[in-house]
Amino acid sequence: MKILANDGISKSGIALLEKNGFSVIVMKVAQNQLEKFINEEQIVGLLVRSATRVSQDLIEACPSLKLIGRGGVGMDNIDVEFAIDRGLHVINTPKVSSNSVAELVFAHLFGMARFLPASNREMPLEGDTRFNELKKAFSQGIELRGKTLGIIGFGSIGQEVAKIAMGLGMHVIATDTEIKKAIIELTFFNHQKISFTIETQPLETLLTTADFITLHIPAQENYTLTENEFNKMKNGVGIVNTARGGVLNEVDLINAIENGKVQFAGLDVFESEPTPEIQILMNAEVSLSPHIGGATLEAQERIGIALATQIIHLLKN
Q: What pLDDT digit, counting tens, does each position of 265-287 carry?
A: 999 999 999 999 999 999 999 99
Asked if the model's pLDDT at residue 121 lies above 90, the reply is yes
Given this model, what pLDDT does residue 47 score?
96
Given this model, what pLDDT does residue 56 score?
95
Q: Indicate which residues carry an active-site annotation.
A: 244, 273, 291
**Residue-range domains of the chain with CATH:** 2-95+297-316 (3.40.50.720), 98-288 (3.40.50.720)
Asked if the model's pLDDT at residue 293 lies above 80, the reply is yes
DSSP 8-state code for residue 120: H
* pLDDT band at residue 73 using 50, 70 and 90 as cut-offs: confident
Alpha-carbon gap, residue 147 to 138, rounded angstroms: 20
CA dihedral 4, 67, 101, 182 (to 10 degrees): -170
Each residue's pLDDT tens digit, 143-152: 999 999 999 9
Asked if the model's pLDDT at residue 103 lies above 80, the reply is yes
Given this model, what pLDDT does residue 92 score?
94
Average pLDDT, the chain: 95
Cross-strand pairs, 151: 174, 214
Given this model, what pLDDT does residue 316 score?
86
Asked if the model's pLDDT at residue 317 lies above 80, the reply is no
Q: Determine what percent of the chain is predicted with pLDDT higher than 70.
A: 100
Given this model, what pLDDT does residue 74 score?
77
CA contacts within 13 A on the Cβ side of 254: 11
